[in-house]
């Protein structure tokens, strides 16, 4: 098991200049970096990889950023734009050495509508078709796609582990896995540990976030139960802290961070990592 940090805690957008943050990530003690790629043109992945190597870090995952102009259930133009973007992220993941492309790969974040069931079913078929294309590319590249359920305020499409597993079954690709996030599960799942066990061997990635997006362990989440569930399924993937602060203003607005949740981002990173290593296990820095 490796422990990582999503760079939204430090900056947005991530560009070539953002590699200066890797030294901080290394000082904090993380094994991996999760990089949200808002625009593939923002980075030269080979350049970023060199700087990761210099700091003794690895890019564990590339995080997708989908808006209304990139939506696999949107307009034909939005579908095409989204698929092109996602395919490029798979290619960049290969160069970065990342094992996973993660996030809500199915639709724009923030699109939450009262969609009639007949329309929803058609959207589902459309997303299945596109994810099959994406996953064929991912299979050839040796990259896994980890599909993340989001809470009801951020999407009306896939909110639960059950729905994510249904999509994985319908797509039918070994490259497609489920990603779970403790923040979203805290809203949508009856029991987070049970959801993890249900995902089982299909769990490809985990976001470990406080219930308020703050420091893991300084909240009411049942971390001991989560730890036991991860052991029960033999999970050996990445565990990534995805927390936000008001200092990165564009992310704060998007994630509705209207107040200072923790005193400093260093506290989120350092204390959160120490807690996760203590409760989930020390892990190891592996490629």
CA distance 286 to 43: 24
Catalytic residue among 148, 154, 188, 189: 148
Catalytic annotation present for 242: yes
Catalytic residue among 34, 154, 242, 262: 242
Token pair in block for residue 234 = 């033999």
According to DSSP, the β-strands at 238-241 and 203-207 are parallel
Contact status, residue 265 vs residue 244, Cβ threshold 8 Å? no
CA distance 149 to 162: 9
What is each CA distance from 18 to 57, 91, 107, 211, 268, in whole angstroms? 14, 20, 27, 28, 19
Catalytic annotation present for 154: no
* Closest C-alpha to 214, from 186, 178, 252, 241: 241
Which residues fall within 8 angstroms of residue 193, CB to CB, at 6 or more apart? Answer: 222, 225, 226, 228, 229
Which residues form the catalytic set?
148, 242
């Amino acid at each position: 098991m490796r422990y990582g940090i999503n760079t939204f805690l430090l900056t947005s957008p991530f560009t070539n200049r953002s590699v200066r943050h890797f030294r901080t990530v290394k000082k904090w003690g993380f094994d991996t970096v999760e990089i949200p790629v808002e625009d593939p043109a923002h980075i030269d992945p080979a350049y970023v990889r060199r700087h990761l190597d210099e700091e003794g870090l690895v890019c564990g995952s590339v995080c997708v950023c989908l808006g209304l102009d990139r939506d696999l259930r949107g307009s034909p133009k939005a579908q095409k734009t989204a698929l092109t973007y996602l395919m490029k992220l798979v290619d960049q993941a290969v160069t970065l050495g990342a094992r996973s492309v993660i996030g809500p790969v199915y639709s724009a974040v923030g699109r939450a509508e009262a969609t009639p069931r007949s329309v929803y079913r058609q959207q589902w078929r459309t997303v299945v078709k596109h994810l099959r294309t994406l996953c064929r590319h991912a299979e050839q590249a040796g990259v896994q796609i980890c599909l993340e359920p989001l809470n009801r305020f951020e999407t009306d499409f896939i909110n639960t582990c059950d729905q994510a597993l249904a999509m994985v079954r319908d797509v039918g690709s070994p490259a497609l896995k489920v990603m779970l996030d403790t923040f979203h599960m805290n809203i949508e799942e009856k029991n987070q540990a049970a959801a993890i066990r249900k995902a089982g061997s299909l769990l490809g990635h985990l976001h470990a976030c406080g219930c308020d997006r703050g420091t893991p362990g300084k909240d009411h989440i049942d971390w001991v139960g989560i730890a036991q569930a991860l052991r029960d399924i033999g999970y050996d993937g990445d565990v990534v802290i995805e927390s936000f602060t008001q200092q990165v203003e564009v992310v704060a607005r998007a994630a509705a961070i209207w107040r200072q949740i923790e005193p400093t981002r260093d506290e989120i990173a350092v204390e959160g990592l120490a807690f996760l290593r203590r409760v989930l296990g020390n892990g190891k820095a592996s490629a």
